[in-house]
Amino acid sequence: MHINKVEICGVNTSELPVLKNSQMRVLFDRIHKGDNSAREEFIQGNLRLVLSVIQRFNNRGEHVDDLFQVGCIGLIKAIDNFDLSHNVRFSTYAVPMIIGEIRRYLRDNNSIRVSRSLRDTAYKALQVRDQLINKNSKEPTIAQIAEELNIPREDVVFALDAIQDPVSLFEPIYQDSGDAIYVMDQVSDEKSEDECWIDGIALREAMRKLNAREKHILSLRFFEGRTQMEVADEIGISQAQVSRLEKTALRHMRKHI
């Protein structure tokens, strides 16, 4: 994929205009009044944004002209849905739309084919998800989506997983005028979170509520990785007794965590 070519889809990339934010706002006012010439000028003024996005996909083996056309579809969708009252830059809003459109294209044209029925289930699940968000103003659970579709929860999970496109941890997800934000910046490290430290304290406090035998059983089972049979042999009781004591101890601990 040669991204530095001057002409893409008949467009001379070296001559593409660049619009200032103030110019975009003026054009949007005209677009909302039905001015098609303003719409065309706005599209032309943001084609460089499409070019910057498709560079992220230069290792997918796709022809640059195809990606550019698909990116332009995402750009147009962003223009049609952008709201000036949100007080965000157009590029901030448009980049995820363009990326999403390209990912859908790559997913649908992937050499690893997902069955039509599986894709249909996934797209129906996404539609139901959007409907439930609009209705309840919160993210629905997989169980709620499955209930709406009247299919098993596992089918929803499998279908949604099948249409996911792998993302590099080093892929930038936002870049305006400052440093880029990468996917890895949005992934939490649970080992360093305060919540993990607090959970550890809560676990130790709950363990103190148990008697000596219960502590010993849980220590062997979950800290040393012993089986119930091995624990039974060590402390001289049956496996059934170990199982009963383990369940009782865990139930007591849950009351204190």
pLDDT tens digits along 233-253: 888 888 888 888 888 888 888
Residue 156 and residue 142: Cα distance in Å, rounded? Answer: 7
Domain final residue pick, 130, 161, 186: 186
**Beta carbons within 10 angstroms of residue 52's beta carbon:** 16
Number of domains, the chain: 3
Q: Which is higher by pLDDT, 164 or 36?
A: 36
Confidence check: pLDDT of 227 > 60? yes
Same domain, 181 and 249: no
Do residues 210 and 253 lie in contact, with contact meaning Cβ atoms separated by under 8 Å? Answer: yes
Residue 54 confidence class, pLDDT cut points 50, 70, 90: confident
Domain for residue 2, yes or no?
no
List the single range of 109-113, 140-144, 152-156, 242-246 with lowest mean pLDDT. Answer: 109-113
Domain holding 135: CATH number? 1.10.10.10
Shared domain for 55 and 82, answered yes or no, is yes
CATH number of the structural domain spanning residue 14: 1.20.120.1810
Say yes or no: 24 and 103 in one domain.
Answer: yes
Residue 148: how many CB atoms within 10 A of its CB?
17
State the residue range of the domain holding 249.
192-256
On whether both 212 and 168 belong to a single domain, the answer is no
Would 237 be classed as within a structural domain?
yes
Whole-angstrom distance, CA of residue 246 vs CA of residue 110: 48
Give whichever of 53-67, 145-159, 183-197 has the largest mean pLDDT: 145-159
Q: How much is the average pLDDT of 188-216?
A: 69
Domain end (from 108, 124, 152): 108
Region 106-121 average pLDDT: 71
Q: Please return the burial class of 100, using the count of CB atoms within 10 Å of its CB with bins 0-12, 13-18 and 19+.
A: middle
User: Residue 20 region, left (φ>0) first, then alpha (ψ -120 to 50), else beta?
Assistant: beta
Handedness of CA 197, 201, 206, 208 (dihedral sign): positive
Overall average pLDDT of the 177-185 stretch: 57
Task: Tell me whether residue 1 is in a domain.
Answer: no
| pLDDT value at 213 more than 60 | yes
Are 11 and 95 in the same domain?
yes
Q: Coil, helix or strand for 187?
A: coil
DSSP 174: E
For the entire predicted model, the pTM comes to 0.42
Average pLDDT over residues 91-114: 78
Residue 202 lies in a domain: yes
The answer to whether residues 84 and 14 belong to one domain is yes
Q: Residue 219 domain-assigned?
A: yes
In a domain, 131, yes or no: yes
pLDDT value at 190 more than 70: no
Q: Residue 199: its pLDDT value, please?
A: 63
pLDDT computed for residue 148 by the predictor: 92
Final residue in a domain of this structure, among 74, 108, 142 = 108
Q: How far apart are CA 143 and CA 149, in angstroms?
A: 10
The mean per-residue pLDDT over the stretch 197-208 comes to 70
What does pLDDT average to over the chain? 77
Residue 232 lies in a domain: yes
- Do 11 and 104 belong together in one domain? yes
243 and 222 housed in the same domain: yes
